[in-house]
Chains A and B, each alone.
Chain A
Amino acid sequence: MCRLALKTANEPFSPYEVLKAMEAMKEGYDGSGLGLLLRGLEFEDFKYNPRFPILSGIAENKKAWKRLDQFMEKRGYELKYDHKFHMDRSHMGDMDRYRYFLRAYRMPEEFQGKEMEDREGELLETRLALRKDGEAHGGDLSVFSFWPDVAMIKEVGWPLQVGNLLSLHDSQIQSRVCMAQGRQNTNYGINLYACHPFFVQGISTMTNGENTAFVPIRDWLLGRPFKGYMGYQSDSEVFTHILHYTLKELRLPLQAYKHIITPLSLKELDGHPQGDFLIGLRNACRRLIIDGPNAVIGTLPDETCLLVMDHKKLRPATVGGREGVWAIASEMCGVDAMVPDRDPSLDFQPMREHTVIIPPDRKELEIWSQFDQFPLSLAA
């Protein structure tokens, strides 16, 4: 099982803070991997324009690095900023990575005036093409995300060790949202792409626990025409893709996510104000019903953060904080570590029907229940 921590604050902070929270929850993972996602970025040595997409990943050798450069140039991307981590290689152990990269680009000219959808499609295709290129060359190039204002780091090892390796404590990078996962390797081999958080077109989630309904869900998602539904090195990747499918493909509000992954029972829906619609939605999306135990923690491009549980709620997660700073963690001690100066009596552990939403203004938590009226005009 894995440990999860998310912090979101109006004032940018160092990702090292979240890594320290991971340290507090140390019992729950085995150092088989760390994943970090940063959103709302600030670099010390560069005034970053949040419209520039950032390519995050690892090049294992010079050749891969060169190929990456050439590929991006050929595709028409203009490099605006190339973040160089201050590497402390004494923490690297046996690994020998050539370059961890976060590179901000300007979109190719032909996309300047184009629709958002086309631009997003191009970013996805570029990321997938680079990933494929890396896989075709013995895995010498890994690309985790390519999106405006998002940086991702994934590495095998203990969270603090990785943080020290990349000197994340030096405040070279800060962000308003940071998600981290410490991985307990269960079903699948150690693979960088298997580290949470997972990312597709600006949407990202991370999960603890095992999703036993993984294979039927994966098979269904693979049958969709959307190219981003691929990978599946981890059974938790489907949570991200279902969220993407809900928001981007079905264009349903965030609240629908819970109705799709853990629909209410027919008996409960019989008494629901939009029971008929939701029964239909449950049928149509039946293959996306998850089977936890899981806590799903995610973020959206507008810096909204969310937390939902699976139906069985065997992995309770906690959200706590105060106006302007909030934290979500799979363990209470994680929340304590991230926002110590809060009123812990106001901490909240969502039940099976809840979706906890931290809106971008970070003023207060929104706790939405599946039994509430569904915010969709067509469902009325």
Chain B
Amino acid sequence: MVPIRSVPIEPGGLTYHDLPWIIQHREDRCTLCGHCTSVCPKECLHLTYRRQRMPNLEVMSNKRGSEYRTFVGIRQKTDMAHACIGCGMCAMVCPNEAITPVLNTVENRTLFLANQKGEAYKRGGRRNTSGPTLLDRIMFDRISMLTDPALDAGRHEFTVSTTLGRILSPEDYLTRTAQGGWIPPTREVFPFIIGSMSFGALSPNMWLGLLQGVAYCNEVLGIPVVMCTGEGGCPPWVLKSQYLKYIILQIASGYFGWDEIIRAIPDMQCDPAAIEIKYGQGAKPGDGGLLMWYKVSKLIARLRGVPEGVDLPSPPVHQTLYSIEESVMKMIQTLSMAFDHKVPVYPKISASTSAKSVLNNLVRNPYAGGLLIDGIDGGTGAAYNVSMDATGHPVASNVRECYLDLAAQGMQNEVPIYAAGGVGKNGNAAQNGMALIMLGASAVHIGKYIMQSAAGCLGNEQNRCNVCNVGICPKGITSQNHKLYRRLDPDKVAERVAETFMAIQTDVKKIMAPLGRSQSLPIGMSDAVGINDKAAADRLQIKYVC
């Protein structure tokens, strides 16, 4: 018999069924090859010696009733630092289907202990709420039936591009044309834009794959996709290449990478697609960007002009910010001037009840090329959990309000509104995006969806994986460790980017064709959408359908 010892408990002690994910391991299938333990990004699996009682049923003999065998088994660590994140890489590499993480649907006690060493819980990903979003529930219900024929999505000619940049009123356009005045620059782009994910947040291979894919979409497929850099600058070879025209350069409150960008201006072969000034982000409103020290590799440090291995928290506001009028006006004008007034410049803000004030400020700023509103469901590489889960404003009603406000001023064609934050959260990127467009957005930005679709990001809203912040991305998407990111083949990412946009384009046509629309993107076509929620319908000023 084994003597009963004192039970080893401590306040922060957990057992495996307190964890969000429980490793299910089948000893009978396991060959102890060790693949799972070596691939696990959290090192939560370990080999241990275990003893098993073998009941002996020889009743008539004098032998003892049991025998014991010793074996090597795989166990799950239960301390917070090594809690399973459910990424499932162990299952992916196991040759014998012997192991897999299972979601603990009973209870997850790690939430109470995520504040280790006094640090509030930080993670990557986005707001952890699952189920259909409001955008998922919007239906396109104004179908051209017998009154007039619906179009053929496969054979008909469709115009699905949108404008990036400020547009003059027709009267102003004609006056300025006649007088040789300045016409604000615009770009004709695909309305699904790869949202800002920085070089730093993403691994070099992921970034390269995206860029290759975007170039392929433009140059081979004829889909004018553009992507935004995020705040980490842009590799000098890209700045001086012809691919810069597919890139929106972001400037944010940390100004990372802008030394390189400004220095590269004389050598640029073409203008960038646009400049995005980040004032806020949907995932963490009121917070600056955050690149944690794990990811500040030698390469990233060099690109951003900072020492290696230090946390890079950007300030929540721009250094120059004194008032919206002064700061936004000056920054937009300065950046427009830096690129000879030939590149659209637009700000990005978190969705917020104050979005309309920002918009009205931009309306009066002739250099403002639009407004990007990022909703609470937006993703991020690193943020405090409380910011992600509880701070912010959903994008749909915010965009709608701003659009209606512009429409009341007759300016809905002049200051385009771009929407982001949760587009494609449940895989319905085209549907979500077109719903926002019909509510008044001129284009949408997709980030997390692209990571999931083009690179197989494992994160979800049940807090699966979501470790982008600490650089241990098991797929190599958001890691700066070459042992991890070499898992990701840029060519394959590029291929998936192309496939993704081809499919989105077809879906967009499949949405537009039944509505009888083919000549222009149905921006603000609110008569085409309905929702089975009366309160939401009233708020969005669309139809209630049931």
> Which residues on A are within 8 Å of B, measured CB to CB?
1, 186-187, 209-210, 212-216, 219-220, 222-225, 245, 249-250, 252, 262, 265-266, 277, 280-281, 283-287, 289-293, 310-312, 314, 378-379
Contacts and interface: CB of A to CB of B under 8 A. Distances in A.
- Of all A-B residue pairs in the complex, the 5 with the closest CB atoms, nearest first, are A223-B410, A212-B516, A284-B173, A210-B148, A289-B520
B178 A216 contact: no
Contact of B167 (A210, A225, A286, A311): A286
A379 B177 contact: yes
Contacts of B523: 216, 287
Given A1-B148, A216-B523, A312 B174 contact: no
Nearest to B172: A284
Contact of A215 (B148, B171, B177, B527): B527
Interface size class of B (residues with CB under 8 A): 35 or more
A310 B518 CA distance: 11
A165 B409 CA distance: 46
B408 A312 contact: no
Nearest to A208: B148
Nearest to B186: A283
Contacts of A213: 517, 519-520, 522, 525
Contacts of A281: 170, 173
Given A224-B410, A285-B170, A291 B516 contact: yes
A283 B162 CA distance: 9
Report which residue of B517, B523, B525, B528 has the largest number of chain A beta carbons within 10 angstroms of its beta carbon.
B525
Interface residues of A, dominant DSSP: loop
B413 A286 contact: yes
Given A213-B525, A223-B408, A284-B168, A265 B159 contact: yes
15 contacts: A1-B147, A212-B142, A219-B407, A220-B410, A224-B410, A245-B170, A250-B171, A262-B519, A280-B173, A284-B167, A284-B169, A286-B163, A312-B156, A312-B518, A314-B149
Contacts of B528: 215
Nearest to A261: B519
B314 to A, nearest CB: 34
B515 interface: yes
A310 B156 CA distance: 14
Given A1-B147, A220-B412, A280 B183 contact: yes
Chain B interface mostly helix, strand, loop or mixed? loop
Contacts of B517: 212-213, 291
Contacts of A210: 144, 147-148, 516
B515 A212 contact: yes
Contact of A223 (B148, B411, B516): B411
B253 interface: no
A223 B409 contact: yes
Interface string B406-438: 011111110000000000000000000000000
Given A378-B174, A378-B178, A283 B163 contact: yes
B267 interface: no
Interface in B23-76: none
Contacts of B413: 220, 284, 286-287
Interface string B500-532: 000000000000000111111011111110000
A220 B527 CA distance: 14
Contacts of A222: 407, 410
A250 B408 contact: no
A291 B519 contact: yes
B407 A223 contact: yes
B489 interface: no
B188 interface: yes
B149 A293 contact: yes
Nearest to B166: A283
Nearest to B403: A219
Contacts of A223: 407-412
Interface string B171-215: 111100110000100101000000000000000000000000000
B148 A277 contact: no
A188 to B, nearest CB: 11
A178 B174 CA distance: 34
Given A220-B413, A289-B520, A266 B147 contact: no
A378 B408 CA distance: 31
A290 to B, nearest CB: 7
Nearest to B180: A378
Contacts of B525: 212-213, 215-216
Contacts of B518: 291, 311-312
Nearest to A187: B147
Contacts of B147: 1, 186-187, 210
Contacts of A186: 147-148
A245 B518 CA distance: 23
B417 to A, nearest CB: 14
A293 B156 CA distance: 13
B167 A283 contact: yes
Contact of B407 (A187, A220, A310, A311): A220
